[in-house]
Structure 1
């Protein structure tokens, strides 16, 4: 339960942080799609641990193995199976919490739900599970590229340091030029210094990842319970450490009046467009052809290198000491995860849109 996402373009992930491997099964990928393994590897490199001084120092190359669904470089229309083998587990780092619950982790809730838990790195609740999502998201991106749809995420805030610029004023080519993945070099330097300072204090800090989906076709989304923004919200809130999601004007929109917030509809040549885009490219749960943009808030990583008060499985008060290898701030590595989940949602709705039109079926 809870390990499958999507309706037509559907993924099921499996594996634990300190198990043999992580993996994903992708169903619904149309036959004949060129599968670029190098692109998948590039996406995996963006998410992998140990890539800089401001990320966890666990060393995983995150090499993928495609087990099924691809023949001579193209999808066959059958389930695509991918695994990512774990290599640098240090399970002994977690022996001190074998019977203790770490504050703000899933340790206690998993134990109460299942009566058993894999304490090694959090098991299934570990953010390492997202490696499988990024692999699947890379294939979804390949599908979307056929339609010219582009998804770009970047770090827009760390702690109180916020990049208060419209995404249209940013140079997205700068995102991968720094270790924090912020498209503004000056802001990136400040964010890196802040994260490094927090790391040296043996603490953690949160942040925000912003995402833009360009060239989304008109008409993606379903009425009422399956609105496009609702599914995007579910996708983002399913990512470890996410505490908030807003799209378009979001919470700032409450400060505006309707006369300011409404997006006037105009004709630009042969195209119907809106003068502004406070709606974030979605109206009534259906894409309107404008850019879709949203923000995702990540809490500070729960594991800190400090002593904390907690209890053990017997209900006794204990002290939990932070050990192991952990990110001082998750947002630099969360960028490709946000993109992957957005790609999975848009790919799914793209296939749903085609199935809803009789002329595309017969």
Structure 2
């Protein structure tokens, strides 16, 4: 069930020989399977889970704080959990908050959750069937390159003629949106068994003309207690930096934990925003509050209605960003009328209140 595994790279690595100038032949697909997995990096002896209180500095949560005051709710409190099963989860710790507040958190805190989402996306490619399909549908070219003053291996995976690496199709209000993965480029360190850079080439099509984008994820690592841990992630689209994550680690007893996370990001208006999360009050293993992870109030009453309402809400957001507020207003009204009990109806009402009359 893994794309990358933690087995030794000894049987697939090759080096440029200064003596004979020869290289051994490798299997790039097998090499992928040997790279360190991100979950394995965070695994520690005797640690199954930890929880920490999270204090956020920055304007990113001002809207949430204002909304809480308007609804006569308690001030937002945040927590981050790590479990071996789920990895890292950042969430609201307020039990009196309705579901739509957690959805607002998803919307407002996209930059804060970027690191976890990228890791989650990479880990999803470990599924056996996905990797076998990937291997069947692609060809690969590889070569040694100098990267950050050290030899690395560059792997270029492209879809075979008439095939795709991955394809997603979504239809909303009769409009079909297609996202196709054309190519994947990786720069890896065989010596360290680490991914240093991943570029995913997407072909997105809503209208008649498809748009190609390069989406690059660059990783930097820090060695803590002899173990490599991801310390920085840069997310770029078409060579434009969108989000930069920086993490700092510390020891709590015998365990290594995040001490601080810093994010800088490009906002929708083109300006730069930032957020800093400081962690404190750590609890480990059976001392964590698992009820926050299993809060039944976070489960939508009607999942189908929630999904349809979410589609309409996202469509309205896109129209707002395009300056088509009249069309967005009509879609939000439609959402509220058709799915009044959906949590997205609350968000729709909030957006409508912000429109000029």
User: What TM-score, normalized by structure 2, do the two folds share?
Assistant: 0.28
Q: For CA contacts below 8 A with separation 6 or more, give which structure has more relative contact order.
A: 1
- Larger Rg, first or second structure (1 or 2): 2
